[in-house]
Structure 1
Amino acid sequence: MHSMTGFAALSGTGQGLSSAWELRSVNARGLDLRLRVPDTVPGLDAALREKLGAALTRGSVSLSLKLEPERKGAQTRLAPEGLGAALDLVAGAEQAAAARGLTLAPSPASAVISMPGVLVSGAEAPDTEALRARLLGEADELIAALVEMRAGEGAALAAILADQIDEIAALIREAAGHLPARTAHMAAGFDAALARLRGGADVDEGRVAQEMAVLAVKADVAEELDRLRAHVGAARGLLAEDAPAGRRLDFLTQEFNREANTLCSKAQYAPLSATGLALKTVIDRFREQVQNVE
């Protein structure tokens, strides 16, 4: 079991550039990837998304990468090829405008040199293939660190959830233990109500028996307790799986709540009502913890 919460950071050097990585994740219904990486390395964004998608199944994941020259203060210079390409683009735009009878304002030098590829650092341009390979290797290490942290938190979560499931199971046993006394309590109530009816009017005994049977069926909680026991078994099975179980556990908490609510509505006996309310409290704590599970 893994948590959806984690953080990892990494730095590296090579190809004349230093790299600074940060990767963090928090809870989310699905897998939401948000990347901020330089677009100067072709294919890097897509490759990182593929790696993250293979390693993670849920969470809001934010990744940032900053690249800076290793030698600070390096002089920038014009790149002849980049400058030529930029001027060609400007000239082409002016010609296209003139063909339509339009006159464009002259392009200032600052606009031209701000175009991609016109200015480069004094250092030689790095080998993009080598840089990409290096960065993807760092990304593997970064993602592994995040997964390790999420696994550590997941192990702690699994222990908490296991204890809460045990508590739920104990409360189910407690609820079942109230049933004999509840039956006697409800029978006494039925007898008292029947005595009041018999004291004031003629009573159809057959109809009374029929109505009492209907009330007994409506008040029966055996099915709710059976389903709660089944849910406990399912939850323990999910905790034991070596696979992401957050979504299924979240669904199971809804089923736990449904049965606990029905148990409380049918209780008609104070000790059973108290146990049902305690059960709902534990289930709510269980649900809150499950929101952190991948």
Structure 2
Amino acid sequence: MIRSMTAFASADADTPWGALGYELRSVNSRYLEVSPRLPDELRAIEPAVRERIAAKLTRGKVDVSLRLHASGAAGEIRINEQTLGRLETVAHAMARRFPQLGIEFTRLLDWPGVLEREEVDLEGLRAAALDLLERALADMVATRQREGERLGGFLRERLDGIARIVADVRGWLPEIRKALRARLEARLAEIAQSAEMPRADNGRLEQELVLQLSRIDVDEELDRLTAHIAEARRILGSAEPAGRRLDFLMQEFNREANTLGSKSVDQRTTQAAIDLKVLIEQMREQVQNIE
């Protein structure tokens, strides 16, 4: 099954430490490129994020954005009443001795032990973030597969079109060879009777005829195109990543179409080569989207 490299996925979850939200976007790339953007509290999971994405995807530029909206309970600040009470007693005693003494409220809060912050369970938060990533990745893989099915249908239609053109050219070849042979024989007969070649013999004329016919022979190109069609269909039905193989195969398709056009001596095969190149280019553009 082929998969597209272009996809979007998201996943959200409420945790004891706050609301987590992922957004994953992927576009075409020759290799796998992962760009995570994580909150400060979760930067430590970046290697695990990269590893888990690489386990599910093989190609594409993947942007990963993780949001954390901390809940009111997470990291809640409390005042230590006992410590504050002791400071109050000391402050009253000092005030009697130093009436002009003033203490700012903000400086009082800076005193060690006055404010207590509830510690966040970072290990639990990180585990929740990685579990949520698995959900987002599953969504992205499913989206890539759905888009891949659409691309696969598009490519199979073009392969069917190429197969029809190959069959048409094979059907035209006997007629084309017959017409070319007649033209060559007529031309060589004219040369043989002219002053340019007064002693031309039948053997040399036949050699020239065979040479000209061999130059326009496209049986090998048609055979290779047929083989490429079969290989492309096999790749489309394979469970392995198909993008790189199909990209290489498009180059081979194009090479045979060019050769077919260069050997053409008939308007029909010339047009067939053009139609082939149009179909191949349409396929090549879509193959760039395949993982």
* TM norm structure 2: 0.81
- Rounded Cα–Cα distance in structure 2 between residues aligned with 1:195 and 1:207: 11
* Paired position in structure 2 for 1:32: 33
Q: 1:122 to 1:14 in 2, by over 3 A?
A: farther
- Rounded Cα–Cα distance in structure 1 between residues aligned with 2:20 and 2:233: 44
For residue 278 of structure 1, report the CA deviation from its aligned partner: 1.0
Match among 177, 180, 183 for residue 186 of structure 1: 180
- Rounded Cα–Cα distance in structure 1 between residues aligned with 2:169 and 2:77: 77
- Rounded Cα–Cα distance in structure 2 between residues aligned with 1:228 and 1:251: 14
| 3-state SS in 1 of match to 2:72 | coil
Residue 12 of structure 1 pairs with residue 8 of structure 2: no
Preserved CA contact (<8 Å) 2:77 2:118: no
Preserved CA contact (<8 Å) 2:14 2:20: yes
| 3-state SS in 2 of match to 1:166 | helix
- Rounded Cα–Cα distance in structure 2 between residues aligned with 1:17 and 1:122: 20
Tell me the amino acid that sits aligned with residue 204 of structure 1. Answer: A
Deviations 1:127-180 (A, max 9, x none): 111011100000000000000100111111111111111111111001111101
Tell me how many residue pairs correspond in the alignment: 251
| 3-state SS in 2 of match to 1:193 | helix
* Paired position in structure 1 for 2:200: 204
* TM norm structure 1: 0.80
Match among 123, 134, 152 for residue 129 of structure 1: 123
Larger radius of gyration: 2
Residue 260 of structure 1 pairs with residue 257 of structure 2: yes
* Paired position in structure 2 for 1:150: 144
CA RMSD of aligned residues (A): 2.2
For residue 209 of structure 1, report the CA deviation from its aligned partner: 2.3
Task: Please identify, of 202-211 and 246-255, the stretch whose mean Cα deviation from structure 2 is larger.
Answer: 202-211
Residue 219 of structure 1 pairs with residue 216 of structure 2: yes
- Rounded Cα–Cα distance in structure 1 between residues aligned with 2:61 and 2:151: 19
Preserved CA contact (<8 Å) 1:19 1:67: yes
Residue 171 of structure 1 pairs with residue 165 of structure 2: yes
For residue 122 of structure 1, report the CA deviation from its aligned partner: 8.2
Tell me the amino acid that sits aligned with residue 239 of structure 1. Answer: L
- Rounded Cα–Cα distance in structure 1 between residues aligned with 2:254 and 2:29: 22
Deviations 1:218-237 (A, max 9, x none): 21100000000000110111
Residue 238 of structure 1 pairs with residue 232 of structure 2: no
* Paired position in structure 1 for 2:24: 23
* Paired position in structure 2 for 1:83: none
Preserved CA contact (<8 Å) 1:238 1:245: yes
| 3-state SS in 2 of match to 1:25 | strand
- Rounded Cα–Cα distance in structure 1 between residues aligned with 2:43 and 2:191: 87
Preserved CA contact (<8 Å) 2:17 2:71: yes
Task: Please identify, of 251-260 and 63-72, the stretch whose mean Cα deviation from structure 2 is larger.
Answer: 63-72
- Rounded Cα–Cα distance in structure 2 between residues aligned with 1:215 and 1:168: 27
Preserved CA contact (<8 Å) 2:20 2:68: yes
Preserved CA contact (<8 Å) 2:17 2:125: no
Preserved CA contact (<8 Å) 1:33 1:49: yes
- Rounded Cα–Cα distance in structure 2 between residues aligned with 1:246 and 1:290: 6
Tell me the amino acid that sits aligned with residue 58 of structure 1. Answer: R
For residue 199 of structure 1, report the CA deviation from its aligned partner: 3.3
Residue 52 of structure 1 pairs with residue 46 of structure 2: no
- Structure 1: any 5+ residue segments left out of the alignment? 78-120
- Structure 2: any 5+ residue segments left out of the alignment? 79-114
* Paired position in structure 1 for 2:99: none
Task: Please identify, of 259-268 and 279-288, the stretch whose mean Cα deviation from structure 2 is larger.
Answer: 279-288
